[in-house]
Amino acid sequence: MADIDWKKFFSYFKFYFLLIAILAVLLAALTAWKKGGTQAVRANEECDTTERVFDYGEVLTGEEEEALRRLISQREAETGCDIVLVTLNESLEDYAKEYEDQLGPLSPYEYTMVYADNFYDEHGFGYNKKWGDGVVLVDNWYRESDGRVYSWLSTCGKAEDRFSSAMIDSLLNEALRDVEEDPYGAYEKYVDLFSKMMTGKGGLAGKIPVYAPLLAAAIAAAAYIGLNLSSNKGEKTVTANTYVAGNAPRMKRKEDIFLHKTVTRRHIERNSGGSGGGGGGHHTSSGGVSHGGGGHSR
């Protein structure tokens, strides 16, 4: 085997080595980010409470409430959002009817919406400012006059911008699936799902090791280099003139003559529905604050 000219070798494949070096830097940054993460600093000084778990429905034990508070404190720092839970076990019909002059006729599924929005506004929740970034889940265990039990997730600030109606439906359906059998597990899932969906972590990308892209790139580059080295081992025995008479190529004169032009026009439909965006259930509360949100019934 002939000796390899390493200077030419590295010169030829310098692009691929540069690519691997860039990926290595990205790997180091991703590893540091995954270990440390970003921790937001709460700036709202107008909120009138530090409480996040309001178990008025008395469905949690004291130990479960404390565990939720610890989890919420961690997830708030990760998301930069206030995360609030309220449980109830009472009819909200009379409460909601008081706001119909401002909001219009309300259906039973909207009673918890009014309560959730007002609860958020009256306490001044918001991680960055009063009525700022955050979310509140109101889970009312009382069966209203239509025989249903209703819950509502109210979003505000960047949470309102982030969560589409489909995302809210997905979160509530998943979190509250077994709430009556395991309230604590359901509310813990609510907090974790909100954090994952808010930050974009925890999906398929969160399950792929951070070194995987670098490893794949390195393998691909090594395979490419190996194939090029093996293909260049033999001596060149065929040239461009090998099969040309007299070793001189002859080209026939050829011209492209423009005859006519045909233009085809096609109308491209544009989606004006805005699917996949944020602001699910956008509305204004009785206090004039912008909220998003969605409901769930069982």
**Which tens digit of pLDDT belongs to each residue from 45-85?**
999 999 999 999 999 999 999 999 999 999 999 999 999 99
Strands 134-143 and 82-88 come out as: parallel
Question: 58-70 burial string, b = 16+ CB within 10 Å, else e?
Answer: ebbeeebbebbee
On the question of pLDDT at 142 being above 50, the answer is yes
Q: In this predicted model, which residue has the larger pLDDT, 262 or 11?
A: 11
Indicate whether 191 pLDDT > 60: yes
Predicted confidence (pLDDT) at residue 206 exceeds the cutoff of 70: no
The first and second tokens of residue 274, run together, are 């805005």
Helix (H, G, I), strand (E, B) or coil at 134: strand
Q: What does the pLDDT read at residue 280?
A: 73
70 touches 189 (CB < 8 A)? no
The residue ranking higher by pLDDT, 276 or 133, is 133
Residue that wins the pLDDT comparison between 5 and 54:
54
Token readout for 34 is 């995954």
35 vs 286, residue with greater confidence: 286
Q: Which residues pair with 139 in a beta bridge?
A: 87, 151
> What class, spelled out in words, does domain 41-206+278-297 have in CATH?
alpha beta
N-term to C-term CA, the chain: 75
State pTM to two decimals: 0.66
Q: What is the pLDDT of residue 212?
A: 57
82, 52 in Cβ contact below 8 A?
Answer: yes
Percent of the chain having pLDDT more than 90? 59
Comparing 86-90, 187-191, 273-277, the range with the smallest average pLDDT is 273-277
Asked if pLDDT for residue 28 goes beyond 70, the answer is no
User: Both tokens of residue 145?
Assistant: 């006059």
Q: How is the chain split into domains, by residue range?
A: 41-206+278-297
Q: Is the pLDDT reported for residue 282 higher than 50?
A: yes
Structure tokens at 269: 């439909």
pLDDT number for residue 122: 98
CA dihedral (21, 25, 28, 31) in degrees, to 10, reads: -110
pLDDT of residue 27: 63
Q: Write down the residue that tokens 């009256």 correspond to.
A: 122
The mean-pLDDT minimum among 51-65, 119-133, 176-190, 207-221 falls in 207-221
Average pLDDT, the chain: 80
pLDDT band at residue 223 under the 50/70/90 scheme: low
Helix (H, G, I), strand (E, B) or coil at 12: helix
Give the whole-angstrom CA distance, residue 289 versus residue 157.
10
What pLDDT sits at residue 272? 32
For 81, 190, 219, 289, 292, the CA distances from 117, given in Å and listed in that order, are 16, 18, 53, 8, 9
Helices within the chain (DSSP H only):
6-12, 14-36, 62-79, 93-97, 100-103, 108-123, 158-162, 165-175, 183-199, 204-207, 212-231
Residue 224's pLDDT is 58
Q: Is the pLDDT of residue 264 over 50?
A: no
**Residue 221: pLDDT over 90:** no
Confidence of residue 245 (pLDDT cuts 50, 70, 90): low
